[in-house]
Structure 1
């Protein structure tokens, strides 16, 4: 209790000193009348004058305030480790060295962690000798400082609580740093406002993500979830398993699209990958009524809507574009439009999106509406955060962050990708993993890699095209947790739509991926 009162007195003294230095005395710390109110009113008048004269309002002097810190809690953490080294593991899960506001505390904490990690004993004598040997004794305040740390501990049993105080103060400092950067970026206005807002949101989210104190879970708790999910799947409660694609054999082979997984759907241009992805999103949002987000970096929203309507209503898309549809076609389109309008399908067709922006859109949507699936069309059109990086490195970073996003949001991410020209140079024209364009990191980070293949596309004579007309395959080339194989589908080019062709039992898919 004494340490807490001392800390409170010191904090109060520091606040009063800071207020006096800023010219306001004690009244500066309050929002009421007196000098504080007068100064606030003057600030508002000056800001109004600046705006009237076309000048930007001055940046609020955040740096003049003392940064949040609780030095007594920091000293209590260090003293607790010296008195009771067993608490080191618990504390290490909560705070890092740079979470300490005092540099000398950072130095000592680093040494204590290194001693603990190396399996050496921790006591005053050993710590002092280590500090002398490494030339850091004076940096922490000399021999007397160790005794002061030991005296600063009210109760060593409360070490975790002290560490949580240190962590919370560090979070506040991180928030101040992020806010200062956000303000500076906004005043500089060196980037587009949308990019600045997206970057600001990402920076704030990172503070929470980096402060996660999640611990290892006991296998008993994990297995309980496995059993619940297993029973749900046996009862065909698909919402608790994979998200249905609507393609029977594909769902049989993969068990649907699973949460936290990155699924890459790749093909050469004009093979139908956008159509297939839209068919999946349509089934998820319309048939199963689960929210789905379709991020289109290539096609405009109206163009996608045309495709979606024609596919769903089975109306020739070419006739719709030419305005030559019949009254019966129009009736079906109007009927399907009403049905689709009530579905939780969301489309973002903003060109040049970065992955930071896409993640921000997805987070907002999940927070407000829930989200079961993200489709991104397509990977190579995602704007890199650093355009100066080599292209292969850009794609590798995007692939890694796509996987991270799927885990963070705990939903499947279906991302389309282009194949390189080697796919067309092979004798049978069939795509393979090494045909993924620009980076092997795509294959590495993906949980599932699927290819769209239509032999009809490669035929040069009318006779050969007619022989394989409408035949399509979804080739599962990689599945981290299941078999690989081919799924036969029917391609309806008039409606830009894939449909189920046949049903194969799961036992036929015997070959398992070795990834």
Structure 2
């Protein structure tokens, strides 16, 4: 069974305490001697794992300040969660303080006692006498701000120590064949152990501070009119309409089968990676990596795709391939064609690529081949809704645009002009709700071979949260597996 990354708990609160080692430092690594229960301080815990760093006095000072001054709660909650406390009773008290505070009450000993008693946790937390001791009798040998920093730092040391022990076991049991897995697991362990707790209460920013940054951005855009604010799509009219693909955006590309949505998605990835040299990841759930690479080469070198697949390349075709190969092979494009059983794996891969390669664009082809995976959902409608919501959050978290290919239902086939509407998105109306930009792909010649508009494609921008909607006409060169501007057709 594969080892799970370290998740932050240092010990089992119910485990029997072990005897302290005689060679442990007095303050940071060893509990203070047991005291009489007459002063209501509770007997001090000793480490169940030998020598785990902790400072119970700092924990008591911090909790005492929170029981006396609600403003301490406001500041501490942004950096600290209950798992950072060494003593289980202190974690319970901290959680009780936050519960009372969230209800708009003063987190004094009496209110915290009632909150703990409601969940039948009062005795485990030490009872009202210990709460009163924390609030009124704890020695103030340091400020509560210093105590908070110390609690956080010692918690990180404990987590790192246990992560290191786990990594040591992995290395001892590792083999040359499992070295990649050991490295990946070790990196995940250290990252989980050293990551600071993310605030459950994000800081509020005054509008004046926000507007100052907004004005700077507007001024920068106005000054540098030759540079597109976002990532170019490769289509001049679409770039003018959208100002490029913006960080944090979820862009949905949708069309009927065989309309060319996968080709268009690869077109966007190719433009970003090959032409703009921006690190890009292309998740291909429908085609394997060789098929994707072949399409990319056909588009870049202007070599008919059927010539490549049929092995009938002419001398001119080979020359074109050789001419474009250096630029294409050096492009920072990452193709992932593994069949992801769930969205959670895909999200983890994106986070890793963002950290390692600083990816600037994520393309997923296609959305309907994904499953959420970590929990059962009642219907496919609900599953697609959850995936689209999480894709939007992922785009915002990583500050990159995410392009997702979707499919339309059969409704356009029933219309005279065959044009799709935004309501035709398959499986979930949440797609249009979560997307910042929805582009529907339509080609008349897909329905009528003798159409006077053969070779043309319409990008129907039916939703655009940052600007107007419009129809953009581009050229479809199917034999090259690409779309281009009409001027370049």
TM-score for both structures, normalised by structure 1: 0.73
- Measured after TM superposition, the shift of residue 256 of structure 1 is 0.6
Aligned to 2:197: 211
CA contact (8 A) 1:238 1:244 kept: no
Q: 1:139 to 1:346 in 2, by over 3 A?
A: closer
Give the Cα–Cα distance (whole angstroms) in 2 for the partners of residues 422 and 197 of structure 1.
Answer: 50
Give the Cα–Cα distance (whole angstroms) in 2 for the partners of residues 194 and 400 of structure 1.
Answer: 32
- Measured after TM superposition, the shift of residue 228 of structure 1 is 2.9
Give the Cα–Cα distance (whole angstroms) in 2 for the partners of residues 82 and 387 of structure 1.
Answer: 38
Give the Cα–Cα distance (whole angstroms) in 2 for the partners of residues 271 and 180 of structure 1.
Answer: 54
Residue 483 of structure 1 is aligned with which of 468, 473, 487?
Answer: 468
What do residues 203-228 of structure 1 show as CA deviations (whole Å, max 9, x unaligned)?
Answer: 87677778123522333443333233
Residue 63 of structure 2 is aligned with which of 64, 67, 78?
Answer: 78
- Measured after TM superposition, the shift of residue 245 of structure 1 is 0.9
Give the Cα–Cα distance (whole angstroms) in 2 for the partners of residues 437 and 200 of structure 1.
Answer: 41
Residue 307 of structure 1 is aligned with which of 295, 306, 313?
Answer: 295
Taking the TM superposition and a 5 Å limit, the aligned residue runs for 1:206-355 are: 211-213=197-199, 215-236=203-224, 241-352=229-340, 354-355=342-343
What do residues 53-93 of structure 1 show as CA deviations (whole Å, max 9, x unaligned)?
Answer: xxxxxxxxx98557665432222122112333322211222
- Measured after TM superposition, the shift of residue 467 of structure 1 is 1.7
SS in 2 for 1:491: strand
Aligned to 2:407: 418
What do residues 305-345 of structure 1 show as CA deviations (whole Å, max 9, x unaligned)?
Answer: 22112212222222222222321222111101122122222
Taking the TM superposition and a 5 Å limit, the aligned residue runs for 1:36-435 are: 65=50, 69-97=54-82, 99-121=84-106, 123=108, 138-149=123-134, 150-154=136-140, 158-168=143-153, 211-213=197-199, 215-236=203-224, 241-352=229-340, 354-386=342-374, 388-389=376-377, 390-435=379-424
Matched, 1:496 2:465: no
Give the Cα–Cα distance (whole angstroms) in 1 for the partners of residues 258 and 300 of structure 2.
Answer: 20
Q: Aligned-pair RMSD on alpha carbons?
A: 3.9
Q: 1:391 to 1:171 in 2, by over 3 A?
A: farther
Q: How many residues align?
A: 441
What do residues 464-483 of structure 1 show as CA deviations (whole Å, max 9, x unaligned)?
Answer: x3422012111112222222
What do residues 222-243 of structure 1 show as CA deviations (whole Å, max 9, x unaligned)?
Answer: 3333233223322447778211
Q: 1:195 to 1:230 in 2, by over 3 A?
A: farther
CA contact (8 A) 1:16 1:26 kept: no
Aligned to 1:445: 434
CA contact (8 A) 2:344 2:374 kept: no
Q: 1:353 to 1:122 in 2, by over 3 A?
A: closer
Structure with the bigger percentage of helix? 1
Q: 1:379 to 1:209 in 2, by over 3 A?
A: farther
CA contact (8 A) 2:159 2:194 kept: no
Q: 1:153 to 1:400 in 2, by over 3 A?
A: farther
TM-score for both structures, normalised by structure 2: 0.77
Aligned to 2:446: 457
In structure 2, the gaps of 5 or more residues are 1-15, 25-46
Matched, 1:436 2:425: yes
Q: 1:237 to 1:18 in 2, by over 3 A?
A: farther
Identify the range of structure 1 (96-105 vs 491-500) with the bigger mean alpha-carbon deviation. 96-105
Give the Cα–Cα distance (whole angstroms) in 2 for the partners of residues 203 and 400 of structure 1.
Answer: 28
Give the Cα–Cα distance (whole angstroms) in 1 for the partners of residues 238 and 289 of structure 2.
Answer: 27
- Measured after TM superposition, the shift of residue 16 of structure 1 is 8.7
Identify the range of structure 1 (381-390 vs 400-409) with the bigger mean alpha-carbon deviation. 381-390
